[in-house]
Amino acid sequence: MSRELHLAGFLIASHVTHSHAAWRHPASETDYLGPGYYQRVARTLERGKFDFLFFADLLATPVRYGNDIRVPLQSGTQASATLDPSLVAAGLANVTDRIGLAITKSTTYFHPYEVARIFATLDHLSGGRAGWNVVTSLNQAEAQNFGAQDHLGHDERYERAQEFLEVAYKLWGSWDTDALVRDKVSGVFADPDKVRTVDHEGTWFKTRGPLTVPHSPQSRPVIIQAGSSPVGKDFAARWAEAIFEIDPTPEGRRAYYDDVKSRAVNFGRNPDDIKIFPSFVPFVGETESIAREKQAFHNELADPISGLITLSVHTDHDFSRYDLDAPLEDLVVPGTQGLFDVARRLSASENLTLRDIGKLYAQGVLLPQFVGTAEQVADQIEAGFTGGEADGYILSAAQAPGTFHDFVDFVVPELQRRGLFRTEYTGSTLRDHLGLGPASLTPAARRASVVA
Amino acid sequence: MSRELHLAGFLIASHVTHSHAAWRHPASETDYLGPGYYQRVARTLERGKFDFLFFADLLATPVRYGNDIRVPLQSGTQASATLDPSLVAAGLANVTDRIGLAITKSTTYFHPYEVARIFATLDHLSGGRAGWNVVTSLNQAEAQNFGAQDHLGHDERYERAQEFLEVAYKLWGSWDTDALVRDKVSGVFADPDKVRTVDHEGTWFKTRGPLTVPHSPQSRPVIIQAGSSPVGKDFAARWAEAIFEIDPTPEGRRAYYDDVKSRAVNFGRNPDDIKIFPSFVPFVGETESIAREKQAFHNELADPISGLITLSVHTDHDFSRYDLDAPLEDLVVPGTQGLFDVARRLSASENLTLRDIGKLYAQGVLLPQFVGTAEQVADQIEAGFTGGEADGYILSAAQAPGTFHDFVDFVVPELQRRGLFRTEYTGSTLRDHLGLGPASLTPAARRASVVA
Ligand SMILES: Cc1cc2nc3c(=O)[nH]c(=O)nc-3n(C[C@H](O)[C@H](O)[C@H](O)COP(=O)(O)O)c2cc1C
Ligand SMILES: Cc1cc2nc3c(=O)[nH]c(=O)nc-3n(C[C@H](O)[C@H](O)[C@H](O)COP(=O)(O)O)c2cc1C
């Protein structure tokens, strides 16, 4: 079978997406606190045969920029207000049939017993459509909400994440697929030889098990990751089955694609088992000039300060202390650097000031914008897909649910006409949609050490 | 207005209810892992104008009885397999309109920032229908799943619960009701004077805040509790707005009612602001003898060992070591005693052996069974409601969803004919259904200390 394009939709359970201006668009819905908005997006994407709808998450209102919660709240920057995405996704499991439902959970602030239980439950309630974006969390504000003064160091967070996944895999494997008997007559509920304690005692976690949740349809959620540091990319190459990426240039995306796929090979994996999803914001119009005008209208609404607040969240570094009109090359930013490196590269190559970067960040966290007619946007997708930058794309909205409607009504049919994208779901689970085989429950660490 | 009866439905996100035999009934649904079963129960109870559907929860497969997970799994005892109820309830928020959705969350194994976020999210997604059964967790098996060797002592768990609620109240109050501005034109998202950090530093918890979730429709979930120890009853009298109770006799229920209401008065509360819900299992038939035959058929399916396993869970004490044919009076059981005291009282007054108690426990954790025609069951409810034992009742199913169908189709109309129960919802939130005024966000501890 020829290679198949994959498509996902990006949301935060919030008024914004990557675009901090999304909520200001006249056509955007403003009630993101009730379930209706999410239902409309999910049903639209399901109509468009998308692989999955994804929810990012952050565990604190931004506070790093100027050490102040007031400005982020006022400007409605990213993460100034977000619902718990696991509940939003569970709600959508009840009102959709096929589309995958992927959510973000941090490995830094919860216990694996709880997180394993959440995903096993979501996988059951959705009939095998759960995905988990494994993140290690970004900043001190999140640590402080959960009782710590400082957050763990970058590499320690990844060590903890590694053991966290090992524990979760053990718990998901604590019930065999066929453990449930449910024989009403004999009264035998489960086969006790097919359920076991896990008795994990490691550096970060202890747990006895078994999980309270029987083996779920996909065995476990599809593992998604978005590390951009070397440690993060190795972690992704070991564990992930789908990877999100933010890079504004085709060259950057191709380099990332090659890098992660070859890291996966180093860990003994088939590179086809990791699907790489760069993100973009689409602007689709009847003509190219309508699309460009839509783009300009949106970008104008983006507030540079609001973007710098999110850059401060993403890097855990206060950008309020620099001259807005200086270039970025001279700034020394410690800690998490992934997205800042992208920003610095962009600033150097295009002569951009901090204010310009703030505005770009507010327009969509450095995401590329794919602009034009349905054919033109499909051309860009096809070029990236066949040109070694992507196995699929994750779309972020400039207004919601409008962006998703436009894409599903105009671009998806064009992609289908070209034979790039499915016209009907052929399977029922997220693994099916992604063309992944049955899930392994052998922790990647063990798999990797066999190879090493 | 005359006093109004309240009704709730009890479930665990599991194959059993209080009745360990429920799943063996020929008419019971067996797929409790998908969402359909919960949807059918919730819609049935909503058709019956119930105040709310409630989900109990336990965080471990039973292991105390004989130090063995095999027997509980095999016999399908309570908690041998349960989904995470917060996701199940969030799912139901999408497919119901009026019925309250209450879930259990322990204060012992999570951080209040997370739990406050879950309930604020559920309250938004359900349009103000969330309730929280605050439990301190029961046994060592739960502790061991969450990395501790032993669980905290009984009174320490309640101290932690006290601070847990104080922190949660602060977080729910961190956004004022009218903090969201969402002015697309000016770009003002929230009024920064109406959102604040909480900066809590206590004995058990630290958190900075604000919550990532704006003020929810009910301000916070309705607080539910089920303490049966003196400390537990005081905790309930301080904080709870609804209380669950298990007591097999009318005298026991009246004593509990008086006890908790007077404790509430001691804490300076209006006793009408705590609704007391004893539980029962209904068996309804066209004739009394049909109902009795239904009851006998169900009770026959209950396995005494499975009941003793749950008694061991509830008391964290191993009942496998005693003679099944001896009475209970001589046993000395340390730790949590609430339900064991009820069992001992029953054993003494009715000359029951441990095996008998096990069988009763398996039939429904010592819940009374209300048996007869619709009129007869309504008589028992009316007698308890007007006779000082209950403000409402929580129904537990002998088979599901059948028990709920029978009750809604036959008993509810009879209660409505008598003017005891609503024929239509008059409000939209769970607080409305329960006749509670606007929620206070002043922690009960502070309220109480003003009075003391
Ligand atoms: C596209 C993308 C999406 C991300 N989504 C989240 C998220 O929702 N929540 C979060 O805490 N971190 C998120 N992150 C952060 C990363 O998952 C990761 O934790 C962080 O980048 C630190 O790791 P690194 O240094 O390897 O990049 C995202 C990163 C990228 C590139
Ligand atoms: C009707 C009823 C329902 C309960 N539901 C739960 C539950 O779902 N999960 C749980 O951990 N404890 C549950 N409990 C236990 C209590 O909430 C409480 O934590 C326990 O009884 C210890 O407190 P106590 O000694 O004051 O009774 C329940 C108790 C009763 C009486």
pLDDT tens column, B106-157: 999 999 999 999 999 999 999 999 999 999 998 899 999 999 887 889 899 9
Q: Name residue, tokens 């008993």.
A: B411
Tens-digit pLDDT profile for residues A425-442? 999 999 999 999 999 898
Q: Examine the pLDDT at A19 and tell me if it is beyond 80.
A: yes
- Cis omega (within 30 of 0) for bond into B210: yes
Mean pLDDT of chain B: 93
Amino acid, res. B124:
H
B164-to-B134, B222, B249, B445 alpha-carbon distances in Å:
10, 15, 33, 11
Overall average pLDDT of the B440-450 stretch: 63
Contacting residues of A for B39, CB less than 8 Å apart? 94
Tens-digit pLDDT profile for residues A288-305? 999 999 999 999 999 999
Task: For residues B283 and B296, give the distance between their C-alpha atoms in angstroms, rounded to a whole number.
Answer: 10
Residue B449: pLDDT band with limits 50, 70, 90: very low
User: What pLDDT, on a 0 to 100 scale, did the predictor assign at position B345?
Assistant: 83
Task: Specify the range with the lowest mean pLDDT, choosing from A61-70, A159-168, A443-452, B420-429.
Answer: A443-452
Atom of ligand 1 minimally distant from the CA of A336 = 25
Tens-digit pLDDT profile for residues A155-180? 999 999 999 999 999 999 999 999 99
With an 8 Å Cβ cutoff, are A91 and B88 in contact? no
Q: At a CB cut-off of 8 Å and minimum separation 6, what does A370 contact?
A: A280, A281, A282, A283, A377, A380, A381
Structure tokens at A422: 């499915």
Q: Considering the entire predicted model, what is its pTM? A: 0.97
Q: Examine the pLDDT at A284 and tell me if it is beyond 80.
A: yes
Q: Examine the pLDDT at B103 and tell me if it is beyond 60.
A: yes
Mean pLDDT of chain A: 93
Residue B450: pLDDT band with limits 50, 70, 90: very low
Residue with CA at minimum distance from ligand 2 atom 11: B137
For ligand 1, whether the C-beta of A136 sits within 6 Å is yes
Secondary structure class of A134 (helix, strand, coil): strand
User: What pLDDT, on a 0 to 100 scale, did the predictor assign at position B335?
Assistant: 58
Q: In a 10 Å sphere around its CB, with 0-12 CB exposed, 13-18 middle and 19+ buried, how is residue A240 labelled?
A: buried
Atom of ligand 1 minimally distant from the CA of A142 = 11
Helix axis angle, A444-451 relative to A230-239, nearest 10°? 100
For ligand 2, whether the C-beta of B232 sits within 6 Å is yes
Q: How many CB pairs under 8 A join A and B?
A: 242
Please count the other Cβ atoms lying within 10 Å of the Cβ belonging to residue B438: 9
Q: Examine the pLDDT at B189 and tell me if it is beyond 50.
A: yes
**Cβ-count burial B218-257 (b if 16+ within 10 Å, e if not):** bbbbbbbbbbbeebbbbbbbbbbbbbbbbbbebebbbebb
* B260 backbone φψ class: left, alpha, beta (φ>0; ψ -120 to 50): alpha
Contacting residues of B for A80, CB less than 8 Å apart? 189-190
Residue B336: pLDDT band with limits 50, 70, 90: low
Q: Examine the pLDDT at B442 and tell me if it is beyond 90.
A: no
Tens-digit pLDDT profile for residues B7-23? 999 999 999 999 999 99
Among A65, A82, A84, A205, most B C-beta atoms within 10 A, so best to mutate, is A84
Residue with CA at minimum distance from ligand 2 atom 25: B229
With an 8 Å Cβ cutoff, are B90 and A95 in contact? no
The C-alpha torsion from B372 through B375 and B379 to B381, rounded to 10°, is 80
The ligand with the least distance to the CA atom of B8 is 2
Q: At a CB cut-off of 8 Å and minimum separation 6, what does A264 contact?
A: A237, A238, A270, A271, A273, A274
Q: Examine the pLDDT at B340 and tell me if it is beyond 90.
A: no
The ligand with the least distance to the CA atom of B102 is 2
CA distance B26 to chain A (A): 7
Q: In a 10 Å sphere around its CB, with 0-12 CB exposed, 13-18 middle and 19+ buried, how is residue B152 labelled?
A: middle
Residue A335: pLDDT band with limits 50, 70, 90: low
List the binding residues of A for FMN: 57, 104, 154, 158, 228-229
Task: For residues B335 and B317, give the distance between their C-alpha atoms in angstroms, rounded to a whole number.
Answer: 8
Q: Examine the pLDDT at B228 and tell me if it is beyond 90.
A: no
Overall average pLDDT of the A317-337 stretch: 81
DSSP β-bridge partners for residue B183 = B188
Task: Assess: ipTM above 0.95.
Answer: yes
- The answer to whether the annotation marks B336 as part of a ligand binding site is no
Residue with CA at minimum distance from ligand 2 atom 13: B135
Q: Examine the pLDDT at B432 and tell me if it is beyond 60.
A: yes
Task: For residues A109 and A93, give the distance between their C-alpha atoms in angstroms, rounded to a whole number.
Answer: 25
Overall average pLDDT of the A395-416 stretch: 97
Task: For residues A289 and A285, give the distance between their C-alpha atoms in angstroms, rounded to a whole number.
Answer: 8
Contacting residues of B for A192, CB less than 8 Å apart? 69-71, 73-74
Among A65, A94, A194, most B C-beta atoms within 10 A, so best to mutate, is A94
- The answer to whether the annotation marks B104 as part of a ligand binding site is yes
CA distance B391 to chain A (A): 31
Q: Which of B100, B22, B49 is nearest to B402 (CA)?
A: B22
User: What pLDDT, on a 0 to 100 scale, did the predictor assign at position A339?
Assistant: 75
Residue A452: pLDDT band with limits 50, 70, 90: very low
Task: For residues B52 and B103, give the distance between their C-alpha atoms in angstroms, rounded to a whole number.
Answer: 10
A441-to-A166, A169, A174, A198, A437 alpha-carbon distances in Å:
9, 6, 10, 13, 12
With an 8 Å Cβ cutoff, are B95 and A94 in contact? yes
Q: Examine the pLDDT at B46 and tell me if it is beyond 50.
A: yes
Q: Which of A1, A2, A3 is nearest to A392 (CA)?
A: A3
Percent of chain B's residues with pLDDT above 90? 85
Q: Examine the pLDDT at B237 and tell me if it is beyond 50.
A: yes
Q: Which residue of A has its CA nearest to B110?
A: A110
Total residues found in chain A within this entry: 452
User: What pLDDT, on a 0 to 100 scale, did the predictor assign at position B69?
Assistant: 92
Task: For residues A185 and A168, give the distance between their C-alpha atoms in angstroms, rounded to a whole number.
Answer: 34
Tens-digit pLDDT profile for residues A351-395? 999 999 999 999 999 999 999 999 999 999 999 999 999 999 999
- Cis omega (within 30 of 0) for bond into B443: no
A263-to-A157, A237, A256, B187, B311 alpha-carbon distances in Å:
20, 6, 10, 44, 53
Q: Examine the pLDDT at B445 and tell me if it is beyond 70.
A: no
Of B58, B124, B189, the CB nearest to A76: B189
Q: Which of B97, B23, B6, B29 is nearest to B405 (CA)?
A: B29
With an 8 Å Cβ cutoff, are B144 and A206 in contact? yes
Strands (E), A61-213: 100-106, 130-135, 180-183, 188-190, 200-201, 206-207
The ligand with the least distance to the CA atom of A244 is 1
Task: For residues B232 and B87, give the distance between their C-alpha atoms in angstroms, rounded to a whole number.
Answer: 27
Q: Which of B223, B214, B212 is nearest to B194 (CA)?
A: B214
With an 8 Å Cβ cutoff, are A87 and B23 in contact? no
Task: Specify the range with the lowest mean pLDDT, choosing from A151-165, A219-233, B68-82, B329-343.
Answer: B329-343
User: What pLDDT, on a 0 to 100 scale, did the predictor assign at position A110?
Assistant: 96
- The answer to whether the annotation marks B272 as part of a ligand binding site is no
Residue B451: pLDDT band with limits 50, 70, 90: very low
The alpha carbon of A227 and the centre of ligand 1 are apart by a number of angstroms equal to 6
- Cis omega (within 30 of 0) for bond into A210: yes
A346-to-A321, A352, A425, B96, B169 alpha-carbon distances in Å:
20, 7, 39, 49, 45
Residue A269: pLDDT band with limits 50, 70, 90: very high
CA distance B348 to chain A (A): 30
Q: Examine the pLDDT at B446 and tell me if it is beyond 80.
A: no
Q: Which of A415, A435, A437 is nearest to A425 (CA)?
A: A435
